Chain A
Amino acid sequence: MKIKIFLAIMLLLAAYGCKKDHTLPIPSAGPNSILSQTHPLKINSKLLLEGVYNVSGQTEMFGDQVIVKNNRTNILIANSDGKYIVLESGYLDSVVFLQGYWRNGYGDETGLVSLMIGKDEGGTMVVTGTGTQNIVMRGAFGNESNLPDKSLVLSYSRPFSEKAKNTTYHILAHRGGGRTSDLLPVSENSIAMVGFTERLGSTGIEIDVRLSKDSIPFLYHDGDLNIRLTQKGPLAGPPENFTLNQLKTFVRLIHGETIPSLEELLQYTIDSTLLSFVYMDMKGDPGSVSKVVPIQKKMLERAAEKGRDIIIVMGIPNDDVLNELLAYPDYTSVPSLCELTVDDVRKADARVWAPRWTLGTQDDLVAQMHAEGRLAVTWTIDQPSWIRDYINEGQFDGLLTNFPYVVSYYHYIQQ
């Protein structure tokens, strides 16, 4: 009997242990935020904030140095080991206010951040958008939604180096801009994620392309519909078993978004973001190349009409996709990214070579690709030390990662 009771308890514990937890609420200062009373900073002012800053106060959290980088939606502050701060900004008189939240990208710690730049510590200069950069951001950070109580002071150290500013380095974020498993507030491979990812430092995205039963390319990573990526719904099994209509009716991604078609997502990327690189990772459904190419061409034309300088490439992850592409009429006109050998890159006339990072920096082959007018990016690097080494020692034009803020830090802190 004791064994049975023990067994029942273990089963209940197992059931509870399987309970999913995919959310980490973003702390918010709420309606009492000082930003509700401020004027928005102009872009020139935000650009003046960019640079390398020394940290004082609680340096054990953010280290000795951080980079401050403006993006389309927010101001990103990133350090070397995955801690980052996302800030909104505004000014009142000659004082600049910065409020937002911090996260440990490699864990689940988060909290509020509140900073200000006094008028004599760079505030006047930032508000007017002129002058030298001699900025001190003073404030505090806290845990979760508690009021910030730990001192944080960021003092401007230097601007980004010419190398960092003038080199186009593609910071490609995985799965549409971020993984669901990293407790982001929007779902991977969703339109919402594409709109969110720039605040993490991404300049491009990788997306997972599948083909529905009615031959419409859509985005989804896993080989089956599951409660890791989707809210619990009535459909189960491989997503390509279903029509796009059925997927949109019965499936919601983990944060409630519908599964997007490839065309919807590319159109949003072009129209509503500043992302400059889309890497379409083909999941290998037979016939998908011939369905994706027309959408790719249409979206590249749309981008050209809007004056958007964006790379949209079809990934070639294996021989099946390569052979399908080679069988496509006028395949050399299809912008592609080949993950295979450099010979395969030449065979497909791919615009981008994308070797696995574990093969090393392969400087000679990367140089060959550059000499042929191609780009080279590598995938998927997540460890800060490897990211640092590949940026400092490699010749790649970018890398794919789940931690774009770490890549931002190591790219922009280069001397």
Chain B
Amino acid sequence: MTRKTIILLLLVCALQPAAFASKKDSTKASLNRYSLAIGAGWVHYINTLEIGADMANINSAGLSLKFFWEPEHRLSLGLESGFYRLYAVKGEPGGKVTMSAVPLLLNVRMRIVDHFHLSAGAGLALMFNNITGGEEKISSTILSLSNYQFSASYIYPLDRHWNVGGEFKFINFGKTADWLYTLQVVCAVKL
């Protein structure tokens, strides 16, 4: 199955939650379960800068958003995006430079034991480089084609629909050879 087909399938599936919500309860397992998760938390950039390393602020807050198709009891396939600030560097007389990223990754997730999942994914990322101070603001947007993540999460069900938990994740941005890790609180809803 090509990536394009999978993405198309995911989009079609995304339009169906309302229809499923109106369905009667059934003890029969469905092959078309979905989940939507939002996460927020601490982001730490693994400082590999050779220039400005000692002037860099490498801790910040980040957001993630995930949509998973859960066709059977262990494996899930999904899309992940988010917003992460990698670093902010203050340098005189150059100004302040920030680097942020919005990844779009195709993930495979596997439940290892109850509520505990491992996940890996790869995909694209848009990277935003801004420089301010002294002179006018300058922004550059860079497309990074080769990026990947791997993560571990513990998601505890509160009821049939709502789940909360935590996630620890590494993300690599290939274009700039940057790494970050993030620890997030995750709230997920089964659709």
Chain A residues with CB under 8 Å of chain B are: 1, 4, 7-8, 11, 15, 18, 20, 213-214, 224, 227, 231-238, 241-243, 245-246, 248-252
Residue B129, interface by CB 8 Å: yes
A413 to B93 alpha-carbon distance, docked (Å)? 53
Residue B49, interface by CB 8 Å: yes
Check B140 against A234 for contact (C-beta < 8 Å).
no
| Distance (whole angstroms) from the CB of B125 to the closest CB of chain A | 12
Q: Which residue of B lies closest to A256 (CB)?
A: B50
Q: Which residue in A1, A4, A18, A237 is a CB contact (below 8 Å) of B141? A: A237
* CB-defined contacts of A231 to chain B, threshold 8 Å: 50-51
| Known contacts A4-B118, A4-B120; A235/B50 CB under 8 A | no
Check A8 against B150 for contact (C-beta < 8 Å).
yes
Q: Which residue in B56, B94, B108, B140 is a CB contact (below 8 Å) of A238? A: B140
Q: Which residue in A224, A241, A249, A251 is a CB contact (below 8 Å) of B138? A: A241
* CB-defined contacts of A7 to chain B, threshold 8 Å: 120
Residue B8, interface by CB 8 Å: no
* CB-defined contacts of A224 to chain B, threshold 8 Å: 142
A227 to B135 alpha-carbon distance, docked (Å)? 25
* CB-defined contacts of B89 to chain A, threshold 8 Å: 234, 250
* CB-defined contacts of B176 to chain A, threshold 8 Å: 227, 232, 236
A250 to B94 alpha-carbon distance, docked (Å)? 7
* CB-defined contacts of B120 to chain A, threshold 8 Å: 4, 7-8, 11
- Residues from 68 to 105 in B contacting A, C-beta threshold 8 Å: 87, 89, 91-95, 97, 99
* CB-defined contacts of B91 to chain A, threshold 8 Å: 234, 249-250
Check A243 against B172 for contact (C-beta < 8 Å).
no
Residue B183, interface by CB 8 Å: no
Q: Which residue of A lies closest to B170 (CB)?
A: A11
| Known contacts A15-B172, A235-B129, A237-B141; A251/B110 CB under 8 A | no
A227 to B174 alpha-carbon distance, docked (Å)? 11
A245 to B94 alpha-carbon distance, docked (Å)? 6
* CB-defined contacts of A250 to chain B, threshold 8 Å: 51-52, 89, 91, 94, 97, 131
- Residues from 124 to 141 in B contacting A, C-beta threshold 8 Å: 127, 129, 131, 135, 138, 140-141
* CB-defined contacts of B177 to chain A, threshold 8 Å: 18, 20, 227, 232
Residue B48, interface by CB 8 Å: yes
Number of A-B contacts (CB under 8 A): 86
Check A233 against B52 for contact (C-beta < 8 Å).
yes
Check B94 against A233 for contact (C-beta < 8 Å).
no
Residue B67, interface by CB 8 Å: no
B108-124: CB near A (< 8 Å → 1, else 0) gives 10100000001010000
Check B49 against A232 for contact (C-beta < 8 Å).
yes
Q: Sample 23 A-B pairs with CB under 8 A, ordered by A number.
A: A4-B110, A4-B118, A11-B120, A11-B148, A18-B177, A20-B177, A214-B135, A233-B51, A234-B129, A236-B142, A237-B129, A237-B140, A237-B142, A241-B138, A245-B135, A246-B95, A246-B135, A248-B94, A249-B93, A250-B52, A250-B97, A252-B50, A252-B51
* CB-defined contacts of A233 to chain B, threshold 8 Å: 49-52
Q: Which residue in A11, A15, A234 is a CB contact (below 8 Å) of B52? A: A234
List 19 additional contacts besides A237-B140, A250-B91; criterion CB under 8 Å: A8-B120, A15-B172, A18-B177, A214-B135, A227-B177, A231-B51, A232-B49, A235-B97, A235-B129, A236-B99, A236-B127, A236-B176, A237-B129, A242-B138, A246-B138, A249-B94, A250-B94, A250-B131, A252-B51
Check B131 against A235 for contact (C-beta < 8 Å).
yes
Q: Which residue of A lies closest to B89 (CB)?
A: A234
Check A234 against B150 for contact (C-beta < 8 Å).
no
A237 to B95 alpha-carbon distance, docked (Å)? 17
Q: Which residue of A lies closest to B52 (CB)?
A: A234
| Known contacts A11-B150, A245-B94, A250-B97; A236/B129 CB under 8 A | yes
| Distance (whole angstroms) from the CB of B68 to the closest CB of chain A | 16
| Distance (whole angstroms) from the CB of B23 to the closest CB of chain A | 33
* CB-defined contacts of B49 to chain A, threshold 8 Å: 232-234
* CB-defined contacts of B94 to chain A, threshold 8 Å: 245-246, 248-250
| Distance (whole angstroms) from the CB of A15 to the closest CB of chain B | 6
Check A243 against B129 for contact (C-beta < 8 Å).
no
Q: Which residue of B lies closest to A248 (CB)?
A: B94
* CB-defined contacts of B97 to chain A, threshold 8 Å: 234-235, 250
Check B51 against A241 for contact (C-beta < 8 Å).
no
* CB-defined contacts of B87 to chain A, threshold 8 Å: 234
| Distance (whole angstroms) from the CB of B117 to the closest CB of chain A | 11
* CB-defined contacts of B172 to chain A, threshold 8 Å: 11, 15
| Distance (whole angstroms) from the CB of A316 to the closest CB of chain B | 29
A169 to B91 alpha-carbon distance, docked (Å)? 46
* CB-defined contacts of A252 to chain B, threshold 8 Å: 50-51
A213 to B131 alpha-carbon distance, docked (Å)? 13
B139-152: CB near A (< 8 Å → 1, else 0) gives 01110000010100
A242 to B138 alpha-carbon distance, docked (Å)? 7
| Distance (whole angstroms) from the CB of B126 to the closest CB of chain A | 12
* CB-defined contacts of A15 to chain B, threshold 8 Å: 172
| Distance (whole angstroms) from the CB of B108 to the closest CB of chain A | 8
* CB-defined contacts of A251 to chain B, threshold 8 Å: 51
A236 to B100 alpha-carbon distance, docked (Å)? 11
Q: What are the nearest 8 A-B pairs in CB distance?
A: A237-B140, A249-B94, A233-B51, A231-B50, A234-B97, A234-B89, A236-B129, A246-B94
* CB-defined contacts of A213 to chain B, threshold 8 Å: 138
